[in-house]
């Protein structure tokens, strides 16, 4: 029998068969074997790479919120970070598009899939301003996000950044992304929540610009990838509670194009026990900005946040493209898809909300100026 060290796969066998009289070949065989083991190890790691939200250090977290600062704070790539352990905002050490970094670490299973077509992994990328060229038709939702999952867990990352992430590129941050402020919410869910997430997305009706469907996609999520199966009867909205892997409850609001009303004053505030402070994009092209809404007939008002204070500086809503709202006393905070624009009443979109005092305080304290009720609204409350 031919004694070939290069074919030996265990250290024990290697030493027994080669150690005494084949010292040089043993070392060569040992190196070959270690290379094989390392390769096998990294393949193993890839398929085990968990599909969860990850922080700047690459550790798994249940959820996080990012607030990217506008250009003017440095090069427009700095961001604030918050998760369940930070008790409010912390300034990140990395850049928003940097690798490693919070987004790069979170998107790693997607980047791995580009290389290895990881078994069981699937994703949907959606954006009304997709990364390659033209805008999606306005019949699609005004919404942007990333869904990734395997057979155990997945993430739903909703955000406000046009052309993010760049098409099938590990250099995922688009050049246009530095100008304005942007928000991101990442939540880790077990895979059994994605049927419900798919149902919410059917109302939002996003423009899916890239996807890979795995056998673990529930039907609703497949429909979302294929852009089929829209809501057919009123009510043209849907609210549901989603359970994160860490046991937090997230309230998801979604409206379909036929809803024909503002997301905040027409839907979210109706579900709240107090007035809502809303931050959204303060430029609306040919459409008009909706004023703060203070109808005497409605118990709670909706105030536009005209200025926020981030890192000791004031930011108007004309260079902050983020979308969020807070109900400060009851502790609800939502990260949303839509602006308070007349033209977005008939767009699909939604918001994902968390009830957490530290989060609500963090958003409430950055409000520097809210638009008062319009003089026409006679305040009787
Ligand atoms: C896409 O929409 C954005 C925002 O409304 C606008 O600034 C941009 O000019 C549009 N691009 C095209 C190619 O229509
Ligand atoms: C998920 O898939 C992996 C690899 O295909 C398998 O080893 C594992 O048992 C599966 N887990 C569950 C919860 O189905
Ligand atoms: C979340 O958990 C609650 C009970 O804690 C349950 O009633 C609800 O159905 C769960 N939601 C989903 C989408 O699984
Ligand atoms: C979140 O933080 C709170 C307070 O710091 C803690 O009590 C709770 O266990 C944390 N929850 C999770 C899911 O980490
Ligand atoms: C909205 O209403 C639903 C159903 O009554 C409730 O479960 C959910 O927690 C509410 N969400 C918010 C954000 O208040
Ligand atoms: C914000 O807007 C106000 C009023 O429109 C303007 O006076 C101010 O200069 C702006 N501030 C910044 C930092 O752009």
* Predicted confidence (pLDDT) per residue in 79-120, tens digit: 999 999 999 999 999 999 999 999 999 999 999 999 999 999
Q: Are 53 and 81 in contact (CB under 8 A)?
A: no
* Cα–ligand 2 centroid distance for 20 (angstroms): 43
pTM for the model = 0.86
Q: Is 47 in the pocket of ligand 5 (CB under 6 A)?
A: no
Place of tokens 């469907």: 213
134 burial (CB, 10 Å; 0-12 / 13-18 / 19+) is: exposed
Closest residue to atom 4 of ligand 6, CA basis:
316
Per-residue confidence (pLDDT) for residue 187, from 0 to 100: 98
Looking at residue 298, its pLDDT comes to: 82
For ligand 5, mutation pick of 271, 333, 336, 352 (most atoms within 8 Å of CB): 271
d(CA 34, CA 149): 32
CA gap 86, 83 in Å, rounded: 6
Tokens 């590990």 -> residue: 170
Among 201, 241, 242, 246, which residue has the most ligand 3 atoms within 8 Å of its CB, making it the best to mutate? Answer: 241
Q: Which ligand is nearest to the CA of 357?
A: 4
Task: Give the residue, by CA position, lying nearest to ligand 2 atom 2.
Answer: 151
Three-state SS sequence of 77-121: CCEEEEECCCCCCEECCCCCCCCCCHHHHHHHHHHHHHHHCCCCC
User: What whole-number distance in Å separates Cα of residue 65 and Cα of residue 182?
Assistant: 11
214 lines ligand 2 (CB under 6 A): no
Closest by Cα among 213, 212, 207 to 227: 207
Ligand 1 within 6 A of CB of 129:
yes
Give the separation between CA 133 and CA 79, rounded to whole angstroms.
26
What is the DSSP track for 329-340?
TTTEEEEES--S
- Ligand 5 contacts CB of residue 332 (under 6 A): yes
Distance CA 348, CA 241 (A): 19
**Tell me: the pLDDT tens digits for 288-332?**
999 999 988 888 999 999 999 999 999 999 999 999 999 999 999
Tell how strand 349-355 and strand 249-255 pair up: antiparallel
C-beta of 140 in contact with ligand 5 (< 6 A) = no
Residue 142: Cβ within 10 Å count: 28
Tell me what pLDDT residue 34 has.
Answer: 47
Whose C-alpha lies nearest to ligand 3, atom 7?
Answer: 241
C-alpha 134 to ligand 1 mean position (Å): 8
Q: Which ligand is nearest to the CA of 319?
A: 6
Phi (first) and psi of residue 183, to 5 degrees? -120, 155
Burial class of residue 189, CB neighbours in 10 A (0-12, 13-18, 19+): buried
Of the residues 179, 308, 316, 317, which should be mutated to test ligand 6's pocket, given the most ligand atoms within 8 Å of the CB?
Answer: 316
| Two tokens, residue 110 | 């997607």
Q: Which residues of the chain have pLDDT under 70?
A: 1-48, 377-381
Distance 313 CA to ligand 6 centre (A): 12
Ligand 2: atom nearest CA of 119 is 5
The yes-or-no answer on residue 205 being catalytic is no
Pocket lining: 115 vs ligand 1, CB cutoff 6 Å: no
Vertex 342, ends 339 and 346: CA angle to 5°? 85
Task: Please tell me the distance from the alpha carbon of residue 12 to that of residue 39, in angstroms, as a whole number.
Answer: 20
Q: How far is CA 17 from CA 9, 35, 153, in A?
A: 12, 20, 45
- Nearest CA owner, ligand 4 atom 5: 85
Tokens read off for 189: 């869910």
Secondary structure (3-state) at 282: coil
Cβ pair 315, 181 in contact under 8 A: yes
Cα separation, 87 vs 105, whole angstroms = 22
Q: What pLDDT sits at residue 45?
A: 39
47 alpha carbon, closest ligand: 2
- Of the listed ligands, the closest to the CA of 243 is 3
- State residue 5's pLDDT score: 34
142, 159, 205, 321: which is the annotated catalytic residue?
321
Place of tokens 């029998």: 1
Q: Whose CA is nearest to atom 5 of ligand 3?
A: 243
Please give the pLDDT value at position 377: 61
Q: Check residue 148 and give left, alpha or beta (phi > 0: left; psi -120 to 50: alpha).
A: beta
């Amino acid at each position: 029998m031919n004694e070939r060290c290069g074919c030996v796969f265990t250290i024990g066998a290697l030493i027994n068969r080669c150690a005494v009289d084949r010292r040089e070949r043993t070392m060569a065989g040992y190196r070959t074997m270690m290379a094989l083991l390392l390769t096998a190890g990294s393949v193993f790691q890839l398929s085990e790479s968990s599909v969860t939200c990850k922080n700047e250090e690459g550790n798994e977290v249940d959820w996080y919120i990012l607030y990217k600062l506008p250009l003017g704070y440095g090069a427009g790539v700095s961001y604030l970070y918050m998760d369940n352990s930070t008790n409010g905002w912390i300034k990140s050490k990395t850049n928003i598009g940097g690798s490693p970094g919070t987004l790069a670490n979170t998107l790693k299973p997607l980047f791995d899939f580009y290389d290895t077509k990881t078994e069981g992994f699937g994703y949907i990328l959606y954006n009304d301003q997709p990364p390659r060229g033209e805008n999606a038709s306005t019949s699609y939702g005004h919404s942007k996000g990333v869904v990734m999952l395997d057979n155990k867990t997945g993430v739903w990352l909703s955000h406000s950044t046009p052309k993010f992430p760049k098409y099938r590129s590990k250099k995922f941050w688009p050049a246009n992304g530095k100008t304005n402020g942007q928000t991101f919410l990442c939540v880790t869910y077990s895979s059994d929540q994605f049927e419900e997430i798919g149902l919410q997305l059917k109302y939002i009706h996003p423009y899916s610009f890239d996807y890979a469907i795995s056998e673990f996609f529930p039907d609703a999520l497949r429909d979302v990838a294929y852009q089929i199966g829209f809501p057919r009867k009123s009510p043209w909205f849907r609210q549901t509670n989603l359970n994160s892997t860490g046991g937090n409850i997230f309230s998801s609001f979604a409206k379909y194009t036929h809803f024909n009303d503002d997301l905040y004053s027409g839907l979210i505030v109706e579900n709240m026990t107090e007035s809502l402070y809303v931050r959204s994009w303060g430029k609306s092209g040919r459409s008009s900005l909706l004023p703060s809404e203070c109808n005497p007939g409605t118990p709670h008002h909706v105030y536009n946040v005209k200025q926020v204070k981030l890192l000791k500086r004031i930011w108007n809503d004309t260079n902050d493209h983020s979308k969020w709202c807070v109900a400060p006393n009851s502790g609800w905070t939502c990260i949303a898809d839509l602006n308070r624009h007349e033209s977005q009443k008939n767009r699909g979109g939604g918001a994902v909300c968390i009830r957490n005092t530290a989060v609500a305080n963090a958003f409430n304290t950055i409000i520097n100026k809210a638009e008062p009720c319009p003089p026409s609204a006679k305040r009787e409350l």
